């Protein structure tokens, strides 16, 4: 009886121990999933033809959308401007800013040609924030360390900042926005997005 | 040359002197901490300094948790800066507290800064790793912007067309080899700076890489040390060495031709110049030509990067300045 109890408790203990790493492994796994998805779209020969360009873009966009938290990015970039915005203004900004970031990301990804991605490590705190560190090795053999900052929402981890060699995307935008009036920056943002 | 170097060191020391002395002595009382506002719209942030014993973590809503060990050794956590024992507020980890007042030179009191922190910095960066952003000191911004404009035109009108033409003639693998060759002969810069920072392993790595790449890598054109032995390259320079020992960047300078820099890194460039073998090539015009060629070659491998920065930026000058600053901080930490 007592052996049985021991077995049962061992079983529970083991499942618990085995479950823990998979829980902790979430953000990196999810980033990897998204990255793999994008790489497979980019490398898909069937989508390479010019008439498929739109479809290809749409698919990449969809994959990126699933993993990026545009609202959090907007909030952190706007900083002091954010609080003074109405709900509609916030929504508008999130939409356009998301489009701009998406495009910037897309242009980088489109030039992808066999770069290697190494998944280094991840850290997660108890408050729903995490860090995923990867390294991109370009075909020129240059190593680029990239750090994703992620926030938990439900079961998913969503990227709210990307740092490339220490250069944070969101910090960079925040510093630029700091000295601009909101009116000017939203106007410029819309013009930028329309440029495409 | 030596005179210029001495002048640079003196001016650098003069610029950073106040920063160093304020680090050495903790502020007497909290009311001594000042924050300034440049105009009605732009505010400079006041900074509090905490001793390294205090751990700062974001609470996820723009505020921070401060945890420290009290006199009995119990771990205590608080989310308000003014409930910290006074002795913990001094040189150490800077904590950014937003200051929101249009008046200039107003002493920041802790109670005030706490309320303004809630008002302004709600979406401030969440970061456990201690990567708090600092403010870049840029008093000669108009001059810097003029040089930025100059460099921008220089890139699009001169450097880019040359690099593009060069890149069309020579295939990429060859250009990568040339880049490796230059990287290899700059070894003394990295090795000596590893040594200066006490990074003995890094010093060994650089020497090993130099020997392997100069022989197996055929005069440094190949990176055999990486491909065959997986020895990673190090990236150290004198600016990083100075930063490693706590020297602040001083004022930001956007040099014509050289681009973004600051007092500390300029001293670094001059210092590293003595270790750069190309500088010992006689006559001077050859040395200059070699450097120009290296620049063209490197540009041919990074075409499109500057364009991407410009396309994504609202104010390319600020964007480049921040990117430079954060990248330097990152390299110094490493």
- Residues of chain B in contact with residue A171, where contact means CB-CB under 8 angstroms, are 125, 133, 322, 326
Q: How far is A41 from chain B (nearest CA, A)?
A: 22
Percent of chain A whose predicted confidence (pLDDT) is above 70: 87
Evaluate whether B81 touches B71 at the Cβ level (below 8 Å). Answer: no
Q: Does A61 touch chain B (CB under 8 A)?
A: no
Rounded to whole angstroms, the Cα distance separating B255 from A59 reads: 43
More confident residue, B111 or B65: B65
- Residue B64's Cβ-side half-sphere holds a number of Cα atoms within 13 Å equal to 29
Q: Which of B136, B180, B312, B333 to mutate to test the interface with A (most CBs of A within 10 A)?
A: B312
What is the C-alpha to C-alpha distance for residues B122 and B61, in angstroms, rounded to an integer?
6
Is the model's pLDDT at A74 over the cut of 50?
A: yes
Q: Pick the more confident residue, B24 or B252.
A: B252
Q: Which residue of B has its CA nearest to A75?
A: B123
Query: B327: which chain A residues are within 8 Å (Cβ-Cβ)?
Result: 165-167
- State the total domains in chain A: 1
| Nearest CB neighbour to B123, from listed A75, A163, A179 | A75
The DSSP bridge partners found for residue B46 are B97
Q: Cβ–Cβ of A176/B42 closer than 8 Å?
A: no
User: Is residue B32 very low, low, confident or very high in pLDDT (cuts 50, 70, 90)?
Assistant: very low
Contact A178 B59 (CB under 8 A): no
DSSP reduced 3-state for B150: helix
In a domain, A17, yes or no: no
- Here the ipTM equals 0.82
pLDDT digit string, tens, across residues A120-149:
988 888 788 999 999 998 887 888 899 999
**Smallest CA–CA separation between B269 and chain A, in Å?**
20
Closest approach of A172 to chain B, Cα-based (Å)? 6
Q: How much of chain B exceeds pLDDT 70, in percent? A: 61
Decide if pLDDT at A4 tops 60.
Answer: yes
pLDDT tens sequence across B151-202: 999 999 999 999 999 999 999 999 999 999 999 999 999 999 999 999 999 9
DSSP class of residue B59 equals: -
Cβ pair B116, B44 in contact under 8 A? no
Q: Is the Cβ pair B314, A104 closer than 8 Å? A: no
Q: Is residue A59 part of a domain?
A: yes
Calculate how close chain B gets to A74, using CA atoms only, in Å: 9
Smallest Cβ distance to A176: which of B60, B121, B318? Answer: B318
Q: How confident is the model at residue A17 (pLDDT cuts 50, 70, 90)?
A: low
Q: Higher confidence at residue A138 or residue B261?
A: B261
Q: Which residue from B83, B69, B146 is spatially nearest to B111, judged by alpha carbons?
A: B83
pLDDT at A88 over 60: yes
Q: What pLDDT is recorded for position A5?
A: 64
**pLDDT, position B13:** 47
Q: What is the pLDDT, as a whole number, of residue B64?
A: 59
Q: What is the mean pLDDT of residues B310-327?
A: 94
Question: Judging by beta carbons within 10 Å of its beta carbon (0-12, 13-18, 19+), is residue B161 exposed, middle or buried?
Answer: exposed
> Is the Cβ–Cβ distance between A186 and A69 less than 8 Å?
no
- Alpha helical stretches, state H, chain B: 2-24, 110-120, 141-154, 160-169, 172-185, 187-196, 200-215, 224-229, 238-244, 263-273, 284-301, 305-312, 316-333
Lowest mean pLDDT among A38-42, B115-119, B192-196: B115-119
CATH number at residue A182: 3.10.450.710
A174 vs A166: CA distance, rounded Å? 15
More confident residue, B12 or A6: A6
Tell me: the pLDDT tens digits for A102-117?
Answer: 888 888 877 777 788 8
Mean pLDDT value of segment B34-38 = 35
pLDDT at B100 over 50: no
Radius of gyration over every alpha carbon of chain A, rounded to an integer in angstroms: 21
B314/A180 touch (CB, cutoff 8 Å), yes or no: yes
Nearest-CA residue of chain A relative to B123?
A76
Q: What span, in angstroms and rounded, lies between the C-alpha atoms of B85 and B92?
A: 15
In which domain, by residue range, is A148 found?
A: 27-195
Q: Is residue A15 included in any domain, yes or no?
A: no
Q: Find the residue in A nearest to B62 (Cα).
A: A76
Residue B117 confidence (pLDDT) above 50: no
What are phi and psi for residue B218, nearest 5 degrees?
Answer: 55, 85
pLDDT of residue A128: 86
Is position A111 within any domain? yes
Quick check: A183 contacting B, CB < 8 Å?
no
Residue A48, in any domain of the structure:
yes
* Chain A residues within an 8 Å CB radius of B176: 140-141
Contact B180/B294 with Cβ under 8 angstroms? no
Conformational region of residue B191, where left means phi above 0, alpha means psi within -120 to 50, and beta covers everything else:
alpha
Residue B55's pLDDT is what?
63
Tell me if A161 and B125 make a contact (CB, 8 A cut-off): yes
Alpha-carbon distance A13 to A1, whole Å? 18
Whether residue B283 is preceded by a cis peptide bond, meaning omega within 30 degrees of 0, is yes
Chain A interface test: which of B102, B126, B228 (most A C-beta within 10 Å): B126
B chain contacts of residue A175, beta-carbon cutoff 8 Å: 318-319, 321-322
pLDDT of amino acid B118: 32
Half-sphere exposure of B283 (CA within 13 A, CB side): 1
A167: chain B residues, CB-CB within 8 Å: 322-323, 326-327, 330
């Amino acid at each position: 009886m007592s052996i049985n109890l021991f077995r049962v408790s061992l079983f529970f203990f083991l499942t618990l121990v085995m479950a823990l790493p998979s829980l902790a492994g979430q953000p990196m796994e999810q980033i990897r999933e998204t990255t793999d998805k994008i790489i497979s779209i980019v490398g898909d020969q069937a989508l390479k033809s010019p008439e498929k360009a739109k479809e290809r873009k749409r698919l990449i966009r969809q994959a990126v959308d699933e993993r990026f938290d545009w609202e959090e990015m907007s909030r952190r970039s706007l900083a002091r401007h954010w609080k003074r915005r109405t709900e509609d203004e916030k929504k508008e900004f999130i939409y356009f800013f998301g489009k701009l970031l998406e495009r910037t990301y897309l242009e980088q990804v489109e030039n992808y040609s066999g770069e290697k991605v190494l998944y280094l490590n991840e850290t997660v705190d108890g408050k729903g924030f995490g860090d995923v560190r990867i390294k991109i090795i370009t075909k020129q053999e240059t190593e680029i360390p990239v750090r994703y900052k992620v926030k938990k929402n439900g079961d998913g981890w969503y990227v709210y900042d990307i740092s490339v060699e220490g250069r944070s995307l969101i910090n960079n935008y925040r510093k630029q926005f700091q000295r601009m009036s909101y009116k000017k920056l939203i106007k410029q943002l819309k013009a930028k997005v329309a440029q495409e | 040359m030596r005179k210029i170097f001495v002048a640079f060191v003196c001016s650098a020391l003069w610029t950073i002197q106040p920063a160093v002395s304020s680090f050495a002595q903790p502020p007497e009382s909290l009311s001594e901490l000042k924050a300034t506002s440049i105009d009605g719209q732009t505010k400079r942030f006041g900074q509090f300094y905490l001793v390294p014993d205090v751990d700062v973590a974001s609470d996820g809503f723009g505020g921070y948790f401060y945890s420290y060990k009290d006199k009995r050794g119990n771990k205590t956590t608080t989310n308000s800066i003014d409930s910290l024992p006074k002795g913990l507020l001094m040189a150490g980890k800077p904590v950014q507290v937003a200051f929101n007042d249009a008046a200039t030179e107003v002493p920041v009191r802790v109670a005030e800064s706490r309320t303004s922190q809630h008002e302004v910095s709600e979406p401030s960066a969440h970061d456990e790793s201690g990567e708090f952003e600092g403010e870049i000191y840029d008093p000669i911004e108009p001059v810097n912007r003029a040089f930025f404009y100059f460099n921008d035109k220089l890139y699009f009108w001169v450097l880019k067309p040359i690099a593009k033409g060069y890149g069309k003639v020579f295939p990429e693998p060859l250009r990568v080899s040339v880049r490796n060759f230059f990287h290899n002969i700059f070894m003394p810069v990295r090795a000596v700076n590893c040594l200066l920072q006490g990074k003995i392993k890094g010093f060994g790595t650089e020497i090993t890489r130099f020997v392997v790449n100069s022989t197996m890598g055929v005069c440094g054109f190949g990176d055999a040390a990486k491909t065959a032995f997986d020895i990673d390259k190090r990236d150290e320079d004198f600016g990083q060495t100075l930063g490693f020992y706590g020297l602040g960047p001083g004022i930001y300078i956007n040099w014509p031709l050289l681009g973004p820099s600051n007092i500390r890194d300029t001293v670094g460039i001059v210092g590293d110049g003595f270790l750069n073998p190309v500088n010992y090539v006689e006559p001077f015009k050859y040395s200059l030509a070699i450097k120009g060629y290296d620049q063209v070659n490197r540009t041919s491998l990074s075409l499109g990067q500057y364009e991407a920065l410009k396309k994504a930026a609202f104010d390319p000058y600020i964007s480049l300045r921040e990117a430079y600053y954060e990248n330097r901080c990152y390299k110094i930490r490493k």
